[in-house]
Structure 1
Amino acid sequence: MRIISLVLLFSLFSCSSSFLKYDKEDKFFKNEEFEREVKIQEEAVKEEPAKVEAAKTEAEEKTSAVSATTAVKEIKKTAVKKEEPKAKPKKADAKTAAKSTKRQPEIEDNDGFEGASRRPLKDPFKVGEKVVHEVSYFSAQAGTLTMQVKPFAQVNNRKSYNFFVGLESSRIFSSFYSVDDTVNTFLDYESLVPHVLKINIKETGKLKQAQSYFNNDTLTANYWEKQYTEKSGEEEKKYTWDILPFSQNAFSGIFYMRVFNWKEGKQISFRVAEDKKNIVFTGTFVGKEKLSTEAGEFNAVKIKASIVSRGALSQTGDIFIWLSDDDRKYILRIEAKIKIGTLVSEVIEIEPGS
């Protein structure tokens, strides 16, 4: 998956460590066509609970006298009123009650879901969640990988999860190749399918912006990309392709795998639409392990990830993912075997959110 591809960028070396300077950078990261088609309204970050509680207490103190007087009057009025009869609940529609449909698509596992609902019985995502990994290559610290659940957003008036991924090279590794990449993907709250993917790449010798919009009504994906290098200048491309129902994008998939119950004997699959292709992600339960990390000790589930395209495995090496063995299913560790060595990304910090 592309999140692994981002990590693999650390294996590329360059003779320059500084980011590319471009005097039109502000305009470069704007896409008017995308903005006309997609309206995103992100919620403001909520105040810290302590500040909210302090403000609430202050307001209560100011109105306590008035509230007390009003309350006494209301109690007296209520005492002389006769209790109104409660409305009888309506009988359930027999046809609706008898109707039973399976959760779609059938390629996905239904354990942990009820009926046809796409939402899991236990939501693993909490706003404010932040999981930070240290990425290493040949046992050297290459950088940090950050995964966050940001406040909900409205995407074309649909409530959506706001997932963030950031990749930043370490000071030492930046002497060879500098990386400061960010990704936002928005997943529909009810159907758990993605609307939007936004990628901003800022690296040694390269600026790149990519945006995609999945129209799940017409089952089409629109993709826009702009890239700038000193050698080639600005380059743009746009394309559209047909997607299958309930497809994830390459980054929403790394969060979406957390909605499933990973148990012994399980092999879980879901669709992914990426780069004009419709592929299948399959994760196979390997076993349970006790994982000792800088963030603490965790009971973990180890999964082997495979990407299947047109019936053939498309990945070049084994990819293993460790999830916390609890309701939150935090991504604790990623191992990707490449031609030279192994890239490892392991958790160093967790903020659970609320």
Structure 2
Amino acid sequence: MKRGQGFKGSRGQIPLFILIILIGILINLQNAESFNIPEKFEYELTWTGIKAGTATLEITRTGNDIKIVSTAQSANWVSVFYTVDDRVETLLTKKSSLMFVGEPVNYRLRIKEGRHRRDKEVIFNSGNKVTYIDHINNEKQNFDVPSLIFDPLSSFYYLRTLKLVVGEPVYVAVFDSKKVWNVEVQVLKKEKVTLPTGTVDTILIKPLMKSEGIFYKKGDIYIWLTDDEKRIPVKLQTKVAIGSINALLTGGRY
């Protein structure tokens, strides 16, 4: 597909405590195949090798609701001439028919980067429909979407649950910028990445789509995920007008 192409024995014989143990084992196996909840990643942002800010990526659960939040802030010295204050949130709800953690319910993006401002929201309705709201330009539109669709933030977590094989692209349906995109994610290679805590084996991917936020730039985006079942994003990189921006994992809980 082309880049950014759109979509048009009898249970009663088993003792209760055995059932509880079996259920616990199944839950642990499912978690072992993806990521932990709660989970939080903390990143240091650098621009051409100079510390330029911080970013976080966090997922939490309350009952059947899952919340994912991404933030990015510029360092004080950067904010003097170019302030970055980004916050992206998505709310999902658990559906028994879906193997992933949940289906998107609400997506909200608030961007402050220099003079650039964005405040948009997507509400995922029943009947394969979404409502797009631009809170700055007072715009509201409805769109038809496929049954399995994600916003840019939840799509990344869904991607982490997929089998990644070098040389074999994967595709994820994403609603963004008033369109449905069948996003191709290239799986490029395996390599080692050095973190403050040591060196880890990673698998390098390249999504062929750029959503808004700190990594909404003209250059290609590269993401290094740990080469294990958790697929922890330890490094991100994108080219900008001058140099590149890197995000390196420095802390969190995972």
Q: TM-score, normalised by structure 1?
A: 0.56
Identity of aligned residues (%): 23
1:190-244 Cα offsets, whole Å, 9 max, x none, are 32431111223455557653221112x31111122223xxxxxxx4221111112
Shift of 1:122: 4.0
- The 8 Å contact of residues 295 and 349 in structure 1, kept in 2 or not, is answered as no
Structure 1 or 2: more strand by fraction = 2
- The 8 Å contact of residues 295 and 347 in structure 1, kept in 2 or not, is answered as no
Shift of 1:300: 0.7
Cα separation, 2, equivalents of 1:334 and 1:226: 29
Match of 2:124 among 202, 214, 219: 214
* Residue 121 to residue 294, structure 1, CA distance change in 2 (3 Å): closer
Cα separation, 2, equivalents of 1:335 and 1:205: 23
1:241 aligns with 2:143: yes
Match of 1:196 among 98, 106, 114: 106
Aligned residue for 1:331?
Answer: 233
Match of 1:187 among 64, 88, 92: 92
Aligned letter for 1:266?
A: E
Cα separation, 1, equivalents of 2:142 and 2:160: 29
1:297 aligns with 2:199: yes
* Residue 238 to residue 126, structure 1, CA distance change in 2 (3 Å): same
- The 8 Å contact of residues 162 and 185 in structure 1, kept in 2 or not, is answered as yes
1:147 aligns with 2:57: yes
* Residue 341 to residue 258, structure 1, CA distance change in 2 (3 Å): same
* Residue 272 to residue 348, structure 1, CA distance change in 2 (3 Å): same
Cα separation, 1, equivalents of 2:251 and 2:185: 25
Shift of 1:281: 1.6
1:64-116 Cα offsets, whole Å, 9 max, x none, are xxxxxxxxxxxxxxxxxxxxxx9458xxxxxxxxxxxxxxxxxxxxxxxxxxx
* Residue 194 to residue 319, structure 1, CA distance change in 2 (3 Å): same
Shift of 1:272: 0.7
- The 8 Å contact of residues 295 and 350 in structure 1, kept in 2 or not, is answered as no
1:167 aligns with 2:72: yes
Aligned letter for 1:221?
A: V
- Please identify, of 185-194 and 325-334, the stretch whose mean Cα deviation from structure 2 is larger: 185-194
Shift of 1:126: 2.0
- The 8 Å contact of residues 173 and 181 in structure 2, kept in 1 or not, is answered as yes
Q: Name the Cα RMSD after superposition.
A: 2.6
- The 8 Å contact of residues 35 and 229 in structure 2, kept in 1 or not, is answered as no
Aligned letter for 1:323?
A: L
1:134 aligns with 2:44: yes
- The 8 Å contact of residues 38 and 59 in structure 2, kept in 1 or not, is answered as yes
Structure 2: runs of 5+ lacking an equivalent:
1-10, 15-29, 211-216
Match of 2:157 among 255, 259, 269: 255
Q: TM-score, normalised by structure 2?
A: 0.76
Residue 287 of structure 1 aligns to a residue whose secondary structure is: strand
Structure 1: runs of 5+ lacking an equivalent:
1-85, 90-119, 154-158, 228-234, 309-314
